Amino acid sequence: MSEVDYTLRRQVQEVSNLVIRLSEQVGSVSGQVSTVEANQHQTRTELQQLRDEFLAFVQQAQATANVQRAETRIGAIEDKIDHEFGHHKTVRRTAVGMLQAFDIGLVSEDNVRMVGDQLMLQTPRYWLAPALVALASWSADDRTLCERAVDEAFRRSPDRTSLFFALVLRRQGRAEGAVRWLRHYLLAQDPAALGREFAVILEAIAQGAFGLVGRELLDRTLAEWRNQLMDSADAQAKQVRRWRDELESLRGPSQAAEFPRLAALSPQWLTLDGVLSSARGQQPVLDKYKAIMEREFQPSERIEDAVDDILDRLVSEYDNEELPLRRDLAFNQAVVDHDGDLTSARKTADADAASYEETLDYLTVQTTAALNPQAIGTSPATQRLSVAACHEWFRQAHAAHTRDYRAAVPQDVQAQFATSHSVGSQLFQLPTWVGSFTQPLATLEKSLSDHWDRYTGPFVDALAFPWLKKVAPLAGVVAAILLFLAGSFPLFAIGSAAIVALVWGLILRNQAQTAKRAQDAARELLTRAKTESLHQLRGASAELTDWYEKFTSADQTETKVRELIATLPTAGGGASPFEGRTVRKENAPEDSAQEDAVPPAAPWQSASASSSRKESGPEAKAGQENSSESQEDSAR
């Protein structure tokens, strides 16, 4: 009996040793598992970080590739333009060169004619070549040839030829003939579909190139056009839209780095960000237009220089067949300017698409001269006048832009929390909490804290060791041992029951301690998370106050922009924006003659002094040409 008892006890002892060892091993495995878990967590964080960095890198690489491609394209397009239209350049240069050569009388007529003939042969289909032949034959007093050449130039490009001769005659002091060509040009124009060369008229106004009579004519015509077009609400709305696009393009970048907590917590962040970007756009608008209006510009001293500048612009303005290439060029340039951001580049290019149309209405010409003078080839002086002329659209667009972003400020900015934490082997998920910053901060904090407590309490409690559930089987086993064995082996039954109870109890105690530790850890972790989220809430609230301050201060610049726009109508000089400077041709030569004591050697003037025949020839002829052209045109 005692032997059996002894063997049994030893075996029970062994079993209990095994159980203890097993429990130790389980403990060590559980330690390893938590290490693995920590490692995995770390790995996941690093992976996430790596992914973010990788995405940023991809974006960066994409942008760089875009910029490089755009730069290559720019080179290719410029080459193509040069290749296809490069020969026009020679003609363009020769035109102004020829006029200047006439001024100083250095080149023989034969040479001028020869060059004219040569260019006529080399540049087929280009309007300027016959115009040059006309100039050369005019100076050589060859009337029939001159008429035929003017005819041909007029056939190739009536508008440009009219303008060209108006300017040339103006340059040579034939005011009457110049104004006749000009009137002729203006009459043929439809204000709703002007050719691209019309920008030259604006330029001439800015430079005061057409003298008093010409200016009156232009004033009258343009005012009439303006009234005609302003009747259409659509045309106006289009211009206002264009100015809106300009204002939007000057918006600031995203401010997420400045308000990190607000950006992370508030569902309204995107709106807030957009609003602040728009408000911060006021300062660039102010700076840009102040600079434009205050820019010093040096008017040319002599009418010849002024007209030469304008002629340069007229002849170097892109011809219609160049436009597709120019449009492509503008887009690629925008890609480079936006550092490879294709979306913004497309937006900029689209906003400016009107500048590269074949025909423009008068209002668009003016807006383009104000917003993108390069696109139609006008000077900063013209830009200034045009900005002044567009003040009404600028004002409307600015007021609407400001109203829109002000109205977009969210009435109710909220904070939103929803987190999950892995506690040991379990995942704690905090359901979404939403609070509005219109509440006082203390109320918000209390609400968030209550929200945490409401969900963390039951979660932590659930981690407690379930004594009742665990002890019940033990009690059952002990009772069973006592029940079955007590009758036959009472001592053994009591002994084994005690041993089982002891061993099992030890194991349970071990488990309970582990559970307690886990519970404590969870409680601590969640308390930390709660404190952290309260900090974030406080931080976001502070950032929101900061945001309001920054928004208000950025928004205050609006008044200054409004004041600047209000000064535009008078800043252009004179009540009408078309009252440009007038260069007085009549006095200029006398003045310079007196000052420099070197008489200007313009061929027609020197000719008028020396030979009356030569002087009267071209002038009379020019007048006749003009009148015959006018008649022809009206007949057409």
DSSP characters for 593-627?
Answer: HHHH------HHHHHHHH-HHHHHHHHHHHHHHHH
Q: Determine the interface stretch with other proteins among 283-291, 314-322, 331-339, 432-440 (rule: CB under 8 A).
A: 432-440
Structure-block tokens of residue 545: 């106050």
Using CB under 8 A as the binding rule, whether residue 162 contacts other proteins is answered as: no
Give the per-residue contact string, 240-279, with other proteins (x = CB under 8 A; - = no): ----------------------------------------
- The C-alpha atoms of residue 135 and residue 142 are separated, in whole angstroms, by 10
Report the candidate in 274, 250, 233, 253 with the shortest Cα–Cα distance to residue 561: 250
Among 408, 475, 479, 498, binds other proteins (CB under 8 A): 408
Q: How far apart are CA 490 and CA 485, in angstroms?
A: 6
The answer to whether 619 contacts other proteins (rule: CB under 8 A) is no
Whole-number Å distance between alpha carbons of 364 and 352: 11
Amino acid at 447: S
Which residue of 411, 488, 587, 594 would you call a contact of other proteins, by CB under 8 A? Answer: 411
Tokens at 125, concatenated: 């289909």
For residue 549, what are its two tokens?
């301050």
Q: Which two tokens stand for residue 253?
A: 């970048």
Taking the C-alpha atoms of residue 560 and residue 563, their distance in angstroms, rounded to an integer, is 5
Q: Which of 407, 468, 575, 635 binds other proteins (CB under 8 A)?
A: 407
- The tokens describing 347, both together, are 């937006």
Choosing from 111, 436, 553, 631, the residue that interacts with other proteins (CB under 8 A) is 436
Alpha-carbon dihedral angle through residues 629, 631, 634, 636, given to the nearest 10 degrees: -70
Binders of other proteins among residues 460 to 519 (CB under 8 A) are none
Residue with structure tokens 């004002």?
A: 395
Pairing type for strands 359-360 and 194-195 reads antiparallel
- Considering the complex, state which of residue 367 and residue 557 has its C-beta at the smaller distance from other proteins: 557
Q: Which residue of 439, 449, 576, 592 would you call a contact of other proteins, by CB under 8 A?
A: 439
Distance in angstroms (rounded) separating the CA atoms of residues 632 and 619: 19
| Piece of 30-38, 93-101, 407-415, 424-432 that binds other proteins (CB under 8 A) | 407-415
* Closer by beta carbon to other proteins, 410 or else 623: 410
Binding part of the chain for other proteins, among 143-151, 408-416, 420-428, 465-473 by CB under 8 A, reads 408-416
Q: How far is the CB of 256 from other proteins (least distance, A)?
A: 22
* Least Å from the CB of residue 353 to other proteins: 24
In the complex, the smallest distance separating the C-beta of residue 409 from other proteins, rounded to whole angstroms, is 4
User: Is residue 582 classed as helix, strand or coil in its secondary structure?
Assistant: coil
Of 8 and 409, CB closest to other proteins: 409
Subset of residues 18 to 77 that bind other proteins, contact rule: CB under 8 A: none
389 near 366, Cβ under 8 Å? yes
**Number of residues written out for the chain:** 636
Interface pick for other proteins out of 409, 482, 485, 515 (rule CB under 8 A) = 409
Quick check: 403 binds other proteins (CB under 8 A)?
yes
Quote the DSSP letter at residue 435.
E
Q: Which is nearer to other proteins, 317 or 558 (CB)?
A: 558
Closest to other proteins by CB, 197 vs 555, is 555
Q: Give the pair of three-digit tokens for residue 62.
A: 């994409």
- The Cα–Cα gap between 132 and 115 comes to 9
Judged by CB under 8 A, the stretch of 15-23, 357-365, 396-404, 449-457 that binds other proteins is 396-404
Which pair of structure tokens corresponds to residue 428? 């704690």
User: Could you give the string, one character per residue 541-580, with x where binding to other proteins holds by CB under 8 A and - elsewhere?
Assistant: -----------x--x--xx--x------------------
Distance CA 212, CA 580 (A): 10
- Triad 612, 615, 616: Cα angle to 5°: 85
Compute the least distance from the CB of residue 544 to other proteins, in Å: 12
- Cα separation, 203 vs 156, in Å, equals 23
Residue 437 beta carbon to other proteins: minimum distance, rounded to whole angstroms: 9
Measured from the CB of residue 411, what is the shortest distance to other proteins in angstroms? 6
Residue 402 sits in the site that holds other proteins (CB under 8 A): yes
Cβ 276 vs Cβ 549: under 8 Å? no
361 binds other proteins (CB under 8 A): no
Q: Which window, 1-9, 211-219, 434-442, 508-516, contacts other proteins (CB under 8 A)? A: 434-442
CB of 347 to other proteins, least distance (A): 23
Number of amino acids touching other proteins (CB under 8 A): 21
Shortest reach from residue 600's CB to other proteins, in Å: 53
SS3 content of the chain, % helix, strand, coil (to 5): 80, 5, 20
233 near other proteins, judged by CB under 8 A: yes
* Rounded distance between C-alpha atoms, residue 529 and residue 521, angstroms: 12
> Residue 345 or residue 544: which is nearer to other proteins going by CB?
544
Q: Which region among 2-10, 154-162, 292-300, 435-443 touches other proteins (by CB under 8 A)?
A: 435-443
Q: How is 474-516 classified by DSSP, letter by letter? A: HHHHHHHHHHHHTTT-HHHHHHHHHHHHHHHHHHHHHHHHHHH
Residue 560 to residue 583: CA distance in whole angstroms: 35
| Backbone φ, ψ for residue 427 (5° rounding) | -110, 125
Query: Could you say whether residue 94 binds other proteins (CB under 8 A)?
Result: no
406 is a site residue for other proteins (CB under 8 A): yes
Does 442 engage in binding with other proteins (CB under 8 A)?
A: no
- Minimum separation from the CB atom of position 302 to other proteins (A): 44
For residue 396, state whether it binds other proteins (rule: CB under 8 A): yes
Residue with tokens 């290719």: 76
Please identify which residue in 25, 438, 553, 610 interacts with other proteins, judged by CB under 8 A. 438
Q: What are the residues binding other proteins (CB under 8 A)? A: 233, 396, 399-400, 402-403, 406-412, 436, 438-439, 552, 555, 558-559, 562
